[in-house]
Amino acid sequence: MTKRAARTANGWRNWAGNVTARPVREESPASVEELAAAVRAAADDGLTVKAVGTGHSFTAAAATDGVLIRPDLLTGFRSFDRDAMTVTVEAGTPLKRLNAALSREGLSLTNMGDIMEQTVAGATSTGTHGTGRDSGSLAAQIKGFELVTADGRVLSCSPGGTGEERAAFAAGRIGLGALGVVSAITFGVEPEFLLTAREEPMAFDRVTADFDALHAENEHFEFYWFPHTGNCNTKRNNRSAGPAAPLGPVRGWVEDELLSNGAFRAVCELGRAVPASIPPVARLSSRALSARTYTDIPYKVFTSPRRVRFVEMEYAVPREAAVAALREVKAMVDRSRLRVSFPVEVRTAPADDIALSTASDRDSAYIAVHMFKGTPYQAYFAEVERIMTAHEGRPHWGKVHTRDAGYFTKAYPRFGEFTALRDRLDPDRLFGNDYLRRVLGP
């Protein structure tokens, strides 16, 4: 390990500030060779190893008191393959850099989440997703990945690899950092296309009554319900022949920065200081929403800036259970003394074949709840979690939840496949931590 890449740790904190760690040391490898050397050195020293991205997970998935791997130098592009329509990038590459580079090449991911601050490895390892009728999570778009294992080997994991490499690909595209440290990822891409976004206020009762039709009629459908109101905001994204008609710079700044970030932060701060103000402000602000339509390249439609910090819990339920679960959440909030300033977000994903995907083997709907940073969230999240687990919900691996391995053994049909692979690749739990002991077992 090069001396310049190792440093004594000063501590680590995630984006929301609800998780901290004090590792013994930090490493910033600049190549897969340096990464493998850092893993071997940690094993020799009897220290555990965790790689961290930008800290956008709300769980302690990346926390360690051993060696913390930072991806600052493990960034960049290895290759564009236009025949195979793939791109291979280093694990620490931020999604925003990936999106911009793909656009310069006239290429795009098929689907993505709603922010792009994360690293590619951090986003895929925890199951980051957007919304889609036919297209799934970021991990579902992986065609191969490179993994540094506990003994310092470098595995090239793909459907056409050796037995171990093939098994690691099948189960490890969402790996929680439990199988090793991902050093590079190959994504499937396609020629860049245009999306037309149609955003429109809609009553809660209408959205829930028409949910199946709205999902079926749109390639990407999502909506936000404003607690303490009967109001929602819907977003329908569909491919377009053009021409491009992006939001103007002034309107885009006013709506996405001034209102969605600046004014919303002020509303949240008021609600934290004076909880009784939340319901009337929610009713006022949700009625003030107006419709808008614009057409742009994918990442400019799928993603948006999120500068107001919060804590989040999200559960995936069978898609057919989404409306019932959401109605139960609304009824619970309406009869409770809770005061919730953040909208509840609802998205969908088709079934996939990844062992720990929240959409593994079933079409899914996601219900996400948030609370402003610094606001007590435990009572609200506990009530929502009770509802979601009653509907066979699966929590997002990077968001707050209280489930454990006993629950996941029943919730995931291929859970045992993943834990068996972990036993083979990391029998001594070099990549373990408290979170993984809880969710995967000792």
pLDDT in tens, 65-82: 999 999 999 999 999 999
Q: Report, as an integer, the average pLDDT of 125-151.
A: 97
Question: By mean pLDDT, which of 16-25, 109-118, 139-148, 257-266 is the weakest?
Answer: 257-266
CA-CA-CA-CA dihedral for 155, 161, 164, 166, to nearest 10: 110
pLDDT at 288 over 90: no
Paired with 77 in beta bridges are 89
pLDDT at residue 256, as a whole number = 67
Q: Which residue has the higher pLDDT, 286 or 76?
A: 76
pLDDT at residue 127, as a whole number = 97
pTM of the predicted structure, to 2 decimals: 0.94
What is the share, in percent, of the chain residues with pLDDT greater than 90?
Answer: 87
pLDDT at 282 over 70: yes
Q: Report, as an integer, the average pLDDT of 354-367.
A: 98
pLDDT at 200 over 90: yes
Q: Report, as an integer, the average pLDDT of 39-48.
A: 97
**pLDDT tens digit string along 204-261?**
999 999 999 999 999 999 999 999 999 999 999 999 998 999 987 756 655 666 566 6
Question: By mean pLDDT, which of 4-13, 72-81, 367-376, 414-423 is the weakest?
Answer: 4-13
Q: Report, as an integer, the average pLDDT of 84-104.
A: 97
pLDDT at residue 3, as a whole number = 33
Instruction: Give the domains, in start order, of the chain with CATH numbers.
Output: 78-191 (3.30.465.10), 194-296+308-395 (3.30.70.2520)
Q: Report, as an integer, the average pLDDT of 291-315.
A: 93
pLDDT at 183 over 70: yes
**pLDDT band at 6, cuts 50/70/90?**
very low
pLDDT at 305 over 90: no
pLDDT at 171 over 70: yes
Q: Report, as an integer, the average pLDDT of 39-52.
A: 97
pLDDT at residue 146, as a whole number = 98
Structure-block tokens of residue 429? 């739990």
